Structure 1
């Protein structure tokens, strides 16, 4: 049984502008979501989004974070800067960062530490590519990504989230089946129990990303080991993303009712 409120995060990537900001803000200010909702717009819009949504429960996050704290690093943005502009979380190690910008597990480890130091929640993205998937190497790849990124991290009083995003599913329209994601998330949970203690592992959300939309969101969220969703393309349509958030709301409400019923019968 899930003991964490679902987390649904929108990753706008290199998309959006003032029109999307206005449409999204207008849409979300009219809703009272019970689940945790986050939006990660491009850097230049972080301040505007944080300001517009400051009186809402919507979290604002960055799509990346520098591994440096300060200095002569043109184009970099530190965790402290992100926190000061109003960020609550940051994505780290997204597959596009790994593939296009050659990020690796070592840099992810440093970036996670920087985010934690700045009191930002790191959302560490992990996942296998199509060739690795076909060769049956999924767990081997995830093991390396988890252990090499998380080993030695101090989560005392901090939050951490893991996003499983099979690379072959991102933007392809071929989302992994809820059953297969459930199985992989169970494996991820087992591994983080070996990296941290079980009490700490139980507080870490494990969310899924990869061609998530309103058609498959409910089935994914119904799985016991899927604690939320990381939404890419579908989040660029405020109406579509809002529907996904509503589905998460409904799922969370149903889970609460079931938990209360079980408590009465116990």
Structure 2
């Protein structure tokens, strides 16, 4: 039985006040026992979040990292720095990083390795654009992104991984893949994983990202291969995020 994971990605949003609100709210929330919850605030709020989330069910995540341990990389943050602040998870390959900052599959892989090296669990984000979906390339695109990373890892490293499928056409648009569409892609990812690491395939957590919210979460999470969600806009609304977490048990 895979333990559900709900991950909130705040992107370039949030405030010190919102951090405190989440800490106070989740300090008194009873979540289903078999569920992990992680919030990924912007870098400046990591220390405040570490304090505010203490004693709550919330774990701390980061939105990206630089592959290098240190060096002349103005504006960048290393995995070692994140680990010092208690970061447990980090996103790698989010569609906005791939599109806006032109991160290649190789650069995503390098970030995954950098996270694993310091004991941080990567959440590998994969997904297709609307043009790729309309061209019938969805599965090819997604499995290429998955395979570029997962096939190059050692079995022990793979056990640290989570994969989030986020159809790019459903991020921040209000459009959502149907539960059947999401399940179809999740099953393809799991089948692909089984082709070279059968022992991990059943244990690998797969998240759906792309406009999951309080109203559709339960139906999406009921699918057999969807083990949680990577939540965008709804993760900034504490009551909505709480409702999603409570529906994951």
Instruction: Report the TM-score range of the alignment, normalised by the length of the smaller protein.
Output: over 0.9
**Residue 235 (structure 1) aligned with residue 235 (structure 2):** yes
Distance in 2 between the 1:65 and 1:87 partners? 11
* Farther off after superposition, 27-36 or 205-214: 27-36
1:76 corresponds in structure 2 to: 76
Distance in 2 between the 1:87 and 1:154 partners? 22
- The alignment of Structure 1 onto Structure 2 pairs a total of residues equal to 246
Aligned 1:56-71 pairs, distance under 5 A = 56-71=56-71
Distance in 2 between the 1:155 and 1:39 partners? 27
* Length-normalised TM-score, structure 2: 0.96
- Structure number with larger C-alpha Rg: 1
**Residue 87 (structure 1) aligned with residue 87 (structure 2):** yes
Give the Å deviation of 1:26: 1.1
2:185 corresponds in structure 1 to: 184
Q: Which runs of 5+ in 1 are unaligned?
A: 253-266
Q: Which runs of 5+ in 2 are unaligned?
A: none
* Length-normalised TM-score, structure 1: 0.90
2:226 corresponds in structure 1 to: 226
Give the Å deviation of 1:56: 2.5
Give the Å deviation of 1:54: 2.3
Give the Å deviation of 1:233: 0.4
Give the Å deviation of 1:116: 0.8
2:28 corresponds in structure 1 to: 30
RMSD: 1.2
Q: Deviations over 1:172-192 (max 9, x none)?
A: 111100011111100000112
Q: Deviations over 1:130-157 (max 9, x none)?
A: 0001111001101210111223212417
**Residue 216 (structure 1) aligned with residue 216 (structure 2):** yes
Aligned 1:45-124 pairs, distance under 5 A = 45-124=45-124
Question: After the TM superposition, which segments of 4 or more aligned residues of structure 1 sit over 6 Å from their partners?
Answer: none
Distance in 2 between the 1:208 and 1:243 partners? 16
